């Protein structure tokens, strides 16, 4: 391999990138824009569920129950209904997602130490959100009920009884249970894969469309030299995108890095090289910029978003899709990122993911060089 010839190709590609400041600006700004949009708009937290209340009892007991819903960060009281028609209208028009209906005899039965019921109506269109919200509502009602039982026991015995079983929960790694701490590291992997593959997917295809490929074929530049030379400017842009993404995650979203910065940097560079070589491979096979960009989006962004564990738990997928996820490199990179960011893991825990990610980078580079050699022959 001749370093001078490779440097000449890299210089030519750098000049081409710098001559298009709009594309360069987009390649640097777009990752930050995507990170801001997804980071702030995409959330798995179920907070402030819009709630309607129809309190037919209107007693101190019913008002105390309603106050517990109002005091919870999981619910936001939006309407006070006066009939089932009002409750149904709020759910139908989307003003509320849940409704608490307290029967007329609620206060009387609670005061008389008799069992009673309340009704929860929920919009089940979004099954996951509704399931979580129902769980929050059930916890509030159970807490209220337990308080009544303890008060009754205190009145009868003169002392507050000790519960037979007390649950003390503690969340590790993400103690505040904020979804952005979980989403942002995975989002970095999706953005880097998309930007890198899309940028390089146009390089060789552009040479075919502009008619300069014949000139490259007639030069003494070899396939590996041409591939590595063309990768150089986009590798630089990708590193800048990676740095911007990591800094945004740390200082905009307050996502701390608990693991090794060196391991993060090394695995990120390997992932970046693999994504760039994947784009080169697509560009070599497609021969057209439009087809290449479409292929890059389909084979990089969609699998990284849907099949990497970024948004959806892989274990909940059908068996055939679980096997497909092993072919998605973002799966391993996201596992590394979350292990480093959330749990402070090291190479001893993440060695398998690091090995598979390295194999992906080596495979993509080999395929890109071989595919381009076939075009030169």
CA 222, CA 185: separation in Å to the nearest integer? Answer: 38
Residues 192, 245 contacting (CB under 8 angstroms): yes
CA 233, CA 255: separation in Å to the nearest integer? Answer: 29
Instruction: Please report, for the chain, the start and end positions of each structural domain, with discontinuous segments joined by +.
Output: 3-43+178-376, 49-157
For residue range 158-195, list pLDDT tens digits in order.
777 777 777 787 878 877 777 888 888 888 898 888 88
pLDDT tops 50 at residue 374: no
Going by pLDDT thresholds of 50, 70 and 90, the confidence category of residue 138 is very high
Which residue spans within the chain are E strands per DSSP? 49-55, 75-80, 98-102, 119-122
pLDDT tops 60 at residue 142: yes
Residues 177, 171 contacting (CB under 8 angstroms): yes
Q: Is 183 helix (H, G, I), strand (E, B) or coil?
A: helix
Give whole-number Cα distances, 132 to 137, 138, 182, 186, 350, in Å.
9, 10, 18, 23, 32
Q: What is the pTM of this model?
A: 0.79
Percent of the chain with pLDDT over 90: 27
Both tokens assigned to 223? 């396939």
For residue range 276-323, list pLDDT tens digits in order.
888 888 887 777 777 777 888 888 888 888 889 888 888 888 889 899
pLDDT at 210: 67
CATH of domain 49-157: 3.40.1710.10
349 phi, psi to nearest 5 deg: -95, -25
């Amino acid at each position: 391999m001749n370093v001078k010839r490779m440097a000449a190709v890299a210089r030519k590609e750098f000049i081409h990138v710098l001559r298009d400041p709009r594309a360069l600006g987009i390649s640097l700004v777009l990752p930050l824009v995507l990170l801001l949009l997804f980071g702030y708009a995409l959330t798995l937290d179920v907070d402030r569920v819009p709630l309607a209340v129809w309190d037919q009892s209107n007693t101190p007991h019913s008002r105390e129950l309603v106050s517990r819903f109002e005091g919870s960060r999981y619910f936001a009281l939006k309407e006070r209904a006066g009939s089932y028609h009002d409750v149904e209208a709020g759910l139908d028009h989307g003003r509320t997602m849940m409704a608490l209906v307290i029967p007329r005899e609620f206060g009387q039965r609670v005061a008389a130490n008799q069992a009673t019921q309340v009704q929860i109506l929920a919009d089940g269109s979004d099954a996951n959100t509704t399931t979580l919200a129902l769980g929050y509502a059930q916890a509030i009602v159970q807490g209220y009920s337990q308080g009544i039982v303890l008060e009754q026991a205190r009145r009868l015995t003169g002392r507050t009884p000790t519960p037979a079983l007390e649950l003390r929960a503690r969340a590790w790694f993400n103690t505040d249970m904020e979804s952005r701490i979980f989403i942002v590291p995975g989002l970095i992997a999706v953005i880097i894969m998309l930007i890198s593959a899309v940028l390089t997917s146009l390089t060789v295809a552009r040479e075919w469309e502009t008619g300069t490929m014949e000139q490259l074929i007639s030069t003494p530049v070899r396939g590996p030299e041409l591939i590595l030379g063309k990768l150089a400017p986009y590798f630089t842009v990708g590193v800048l995108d990676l740095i911007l993404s990591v800094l945004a995650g740390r200082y905009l979203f307050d996502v701390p890095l608990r693991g090794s910065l060196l391991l993060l940097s090394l695995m990120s560079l390997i992932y970046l090289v693999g994504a760039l070589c994947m784009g080169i491979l697509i560009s070599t096979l497609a021969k057209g910029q439009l087809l290449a960009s479409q292929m890059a989006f389909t084979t990089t962004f969609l699998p990284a978003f849907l099949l990497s564990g970024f948004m959806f738990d892989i274990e909940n997928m059908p068996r055939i899709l679980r096997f497909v996820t092993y072919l998605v490199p973002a799966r391993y990179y996201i596992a590394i990122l979350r292990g480093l960011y959330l749990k402070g893991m090291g190479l001893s825990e993440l060695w398998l993911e690091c090995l598979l990610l390295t194999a992906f980078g080596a495979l993509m580079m080999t395929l890109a060089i071989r595919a381009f050699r076939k075009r030169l022959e």
